[in-house]
Structure 1
Amino acid sequence: MSKAGPSGLGAEPSDPMPSQGPLMTVLRAFAAAPADEETPRLAISQAVAALHAAGGVVALVHGDRVEPLASQGFTWLQQAACGPLRVGDLSLPLTRAATTGEPVWLASRAEAERQFPRLLELVSRDERACAVVPLRAAGALLGVLGISWDEPHEFSASDRELLLALADICALHLRHWRFDVGVDTGEGAPRGAPGATPEGASAAQLPPSAVALAPLVQALTGSDSIEDLARAIAEQGAAAVGAAFSNIAVLEPGAAGGTARLYHLSSLVPQVAERYQTISVDGSTPLGAAMSGRGEVWLGDLTQIGAQFPALLADTAAAGLAATASLALVGRGGQVIGALGLGWESPQAFPAAQRDELRAVAQLVADALVRAQLLATERAALERSERLHRILTALVASASLSEVTSAVLVDGTAPYDAAAARLALVDDQHPDALVTIAAVGMPDELESVWRPAPGAAPSPLSDARLSVSTVYLPSLTDRVVPDPDARAALARAGLRCWIGLPLRSGSRTLGALVLAFSEEDALGPTDLTALSDLGAALSEAISRAVERDSDHDLAVLVQRSLLAEPLPELSGLQVSARYLPADARYGIGGDWYDAIPLTDGRTLLMIGDVAGHDASAAVAMGQIRAAARALAPTHGPARLLEGLDRFVTATSAQAMVTVAAVLLHPRAGSLTYSLAGHPPPLLRRPGSPATPLDRVDPPLGVLVATRAQHTVKLAPGSTLVLYTDGLIERRGESIDAGLQRLAAVVDDSPAATADHLCASLLNRCLRNVPRRDDTAVICAVMQPTGARVQRSRTSPPPG
């Protein structure tokens, strides 16, 4: 069986480390050779041989120039095309890699012609492939390594891992040759002149043993995630430098105040590991100090640890360590991206040679971390794009608002990796307001941001703004969000980046989609374009769903026509009601309500539910409501339900009918009620929590000879809530749990009008919940004596 693919790279499938053989050959060659003028030629010859390539070049970066040092297998024309070249020129592979610090992979002549047409003007047009990778060491870009093949070459993951590992090893030895041996590269003082050697470097010391570093380089090169990288460091990092322990801290992007996540060796004492899952980027820990400006923290024994970090002395001893070293990990542009921690079981003197060795290992780890982070970013972007594509596909197939909601908030998660989302539609009764029909991760207090109080400063995320144009808040500065109250509410939510997308169909406003992210500046230009596409697709799906729901809407109109006409003005009471139909796929229902003024300032409130989701349920509901209105003037709550019991038994085929009848007498300060199988109303007296009126008799149709009624005191300022089970029932949850949730919402709602309370109950109890049943609710607020009576209203949200 051949050990190589078309390029000669790769290994037999049984080889657990595909590139270990070629890598070890190169490492041994470097370990055996002196660091002299032949080092560049050795680097390129070993790379070409290990990769079974046709030729290659190693070039160093001198200021703004890229100059070739050594080449192999190149014609004079190819050598001439390698330089000198200028940094900043993106038209050639060598200078692009030197300028961007990123690898260039060209699998064929056609790909080279597409990306670098100038290259084919300088060299042969023979079919070939090439790769150029940056050479980094000690936080600096030294140069680039270019490799070419005579045949097309598809770069597999193992090919790229091998080439990147070779580049890391070549860079270490080129740095030693360039800085420590005394090579004059034309950058001012010759290497070897006083002051030219980097601080702490020793001209007599070689870089870390190449063979000793081989397992670590192999492990780092094969790590494509932060977790894999941390595991590789924990398993191989300590062994490579003769330490007993190693770990890594990785900065968390966007974290407030600067924090880093720690990845430990699995053998670390669990109690210690649990206390250090994250650390602050400050001087409180050695790793934090290394990241916050010190760069390196050398603690040779427990005495030094106790003097500089007394809080860590006990934990260090518990881990069995006597000395530690912490080195910052530097990525692109000299920015710190994390820190490497190492520990020894015996005290350490940390001579210059040992420090150089640890710095070399830290640079290997930093380069690998940069690659892992780039790969993670690319993978996350790809996954996000795939999920967005699935959402757009699902929106095309959506036939109802419920299906649209399910398509956008898949399994109750926000789209596009957002931490929170809100989908709101225009209230048909109040076109200037939006009603939240589904939300994920949005705190209730943000209602004041969507709808500021009259006279308050408008928020950038107010409904009035969201329905007009796209709003993007990359951060929550006072310039972006001028209103301090809105800014504080958004900040308390822990969400630092916001975007609001208007949903429109032609000139018609449909609503808005709001997404929030945990990190500042979470969205780039490409993201904004993708989300604009999402907003357009969502608008089209909502518009189409409304049209397709026309039959359902007609049935809802019939059902609403059977409900009470606009509620009357009532003595001493504010009363408001809402009716919300079930989603189209669940049919229409038989929920109803009524408010009937009686003599002596009394008011009878009724609410009921006729079982079923078809036209017969709606018709039966209308008949029962008409019978109740006929009985109300002469029957108390219990006698009224007894009369309805006989009526249902004689005239209706419905198997289940529940009703709540509540007689309010504000002048007498009393409330009398009777329940026929209906969920208990909630009564909240001033200064007390909401309590259920829960003495329930069987539903109508059971022919109960005598039904009970109960009287309780009713104080001014009391609030009464009557509702149907659609408000509290959820699949897989007990009725008691739903009732407790409703009571909590009533208690949490600020003192407000009955109309505001109705809207709040529907919004908070039915948010992001499929509406499998229709829902009716009546809220009544007892007004103090002499207070002006406000007109009650019935205003259903969009159905």
Structure 2
Amino acid sequence: MMQGGDGEGSRDNAIARLLSCTDPGTLLHTLVHAGLSDLGARAGAVYLVQDDGWLRLAAAIGVEPHLLEGRRLLPPDHDLPVAQVVRTHQPVYVPTEAEHQAFPSVVEMKSGNVSFAAMPLLVDDRCLGAIFIGLDRPWAFSEADRAALFAMTAVCAHRLEHLLAFDRAGGPPDGRAVRLLDARNRAARLELAMSATATGSFDWEFAAGTLIWDERLCRIFGLDPGDFDERFETFLDAVHPDDVPLVESAIAEAIESRGEYRAVCRIVRTDGAIRWVDAKGRVITDAGGRPMRMVGVTFDCTEQRLRDEREEAHQRTRRARERFTLRITRALSQASTVDEVVQVMTGTALPALGADALVVHLGDGGQLRLAGAAGYGEGARERLRTLDRSARSPMNRALANGTPLFFEHPAAYAAAFPDTVADPEPDHQAWAVLPLTAADRPVGTCLIAFRRPRGFTPEDRTQYTALAGILAQSLARARLFDQERRRMTELQRVMLPRRLPELPGLATAARYLPGSEGMEVGGDWYDVLPLPDGRVGLVIGDVQGHSTRAAAVMGQLRIALRAYAAEGHDPATLMTRTNRLLCGLDTELFATCCYVELDPADGSARVVRAGHPHPLLLDPDGDAAELEVTGGLPLGLDAAEEYAVSRIVLPPGALLLLHTDGLVESRDKEYGDAVEDLLVLLRHWACSPDGDGHVGPSGQRHAVQRLADRVAAPAAARRAREDDIALLLVRRTPDPDAAPPVAADWRIAAGDLRALADARRDLRRQLTAWGLPSLARDAELLAAELMSNAVLHAGGDVELNARLDGDVLRVEVLDSSRHRPRLMPEGGGLDGEDGVEDGRVPVSGRGVRLVDAYAERWGWEPLGDRKAVWFELRDGDGRG
């Protein structure tokens, strides 16, 4: 009779509870509770048979956890009663402690159980597992007790089989998950476990805290199945410390989502070996959706991981080689000169290859000449500067055979070349020597050195061979480019002045820098033209484009400007004629130009600008600024364009800078910022000892030369210059002992005829005072005619200027009219806009004819919204 419950009523109640269980987990726990309750037992446990025959603990109540260590997974031949009943399919009853000796493991557990029973879970002839029940007092196990135990275990076994059978027949998805992941069906478990080599299964029960591993999984972790204590902490201890957070995060996410678990991590086996495992599992819930356990499989993926890592490393290396080849090919394709090709090799290829030194030689007749090197001292460079093609060296052998040479350590190098003229550097340990050939013709060699011994894999050798081909093609192209560029640059320089003339009262300097991009030369030019009467013409210009056509047009313009200046044309006429010439040429090119006619004696200058950058002026006091000079269209655009003249004065010590736009235009700086930088440079120079305007003429010339170098230096340092650069510096350095200029000027207010008469009289007196009585009458007459025209027809104030330069008297009349004076045709009337009006002949026409008849030279200049009409007379008798 059962004394722990209510007899048959209690048993029936327990059986009813078993039959109502809807999942295997709840069923097993109910069996243990029912057995304990009905028998008044103190402890109980259920073991289930795994697919490999081992028994694992599925549920336990009233057993101290430490007593289960080492007994959560039992081999089929274990001496515990549960293993025996699984083998024999027969129950075991031990009513007193005296009978424990038949089961040593029970004695070792020292559980305090006085009596116990073990019952098989049978379904027909199949045993699904066993239940163990322990009591703390002797118990005879009556027939009624045995019948009750048999009934409950039979119901439990059949219910468990029913749940699994229901799942196989197409039950709910949770039932299939129970069968596959809860490992109740041995066939499914076997399929999971044997799906790949070294795959084991696990079952982690959250409530009991037990983690069951099958034998395969124990072996994966380096454990004997009997030594695993089925504690979750033991598993975490085996995980590599760096991967523990990853595993814990994956577990927490799976439990929270009641879904899949997946983690790939490292484990540290008991023998210290580190392995990679790939674990997959699923969280199983009870009928209420509460997480109960996690079951799954673990695969030792170390070998696969190593294969993947090797393949990934191989792919990374392959991609790196491809990127290197593409980067070098792109960089070399953009390199135009030999220097640029060598820069690509030393700046890009050398670090990418992990090399420490590189030297490139180019073939030159019977010699190899150094084209560039990196990682070599000056002494080594000097030694490698020229190599005879007949000498014994790695470079000559590689070039002769047409195949690269590789030396992985100094001994290999020494064995191949014991007495070479190209001895290696002491700190170099490995070398690759590449022959450079293009179109079956030798171009040169490239030697790459390493400071450590290294091996050259077949892939390395292929890469170096490909690099040699690319480098050879680039150097062959660059040599042709350099040769052609030297010819074109020489052509450009031939068209420029070989040297500037030395002029009294002026210090000059010029610089020309060809563009560094492209092979064709440009059309920048400069010139200094000595003019009659001591004046000087300063020219700076820039023809559109970079080509031989641009250089040819530049030469034509330079010659034309010199010719027009030699003819004595004023600046406006000179620029107008040059513009018409370019418009008449068979070319679509245009040009910009700035022309300055400077008188060193008094510093007066007339400036004409055709679309060109403004000149820069540095005053003697150190202030620098752009000169806002009125400008016209570039030359070659409109044959009817007329150019205004601006008048400036350069005080003694002042400096004028004319330049082309290449000096201040670049990709990395705004035009205005570049001009301001140039002005700052001029101001700093003015404060330096070189800027002292009181040194002698020779010192001034040297100072201006040094300034020209400083002005050109930033542009010369640019790696890429898109445009040519020309600059012309002129500093006024008058002789302090020279006589002051002889000049006088008068102003006549608009419509003031009395002032006009006074100016005529004053001019005559001034010329007499200058010792020019023979010129006084003619000068007074011609000036009166011009001033009369200005007062009567132009309106506004009129200026009269007289200047004596040697024996030449120059008189100018300035007014506010922009109309061009024209000669009156023979027979009356003026030719052009000032012709006969209403039958009357304008007086202005006769006045211009008088000037044309009596003056040595005459002309006019537009001055923006004003004009100047001038004439010159020469004192044939001398002063007296």
TM-score, normalisation: structure 2: 0.34
Instruction: Flag the structure with more relative contact order, 1 or 2, with Cα contacts below 8 A and sequence separation at least 6.
Output: 1
**Greater C-alpha Rg:** 2
TM-score, normalisation: structure 1: 0.37
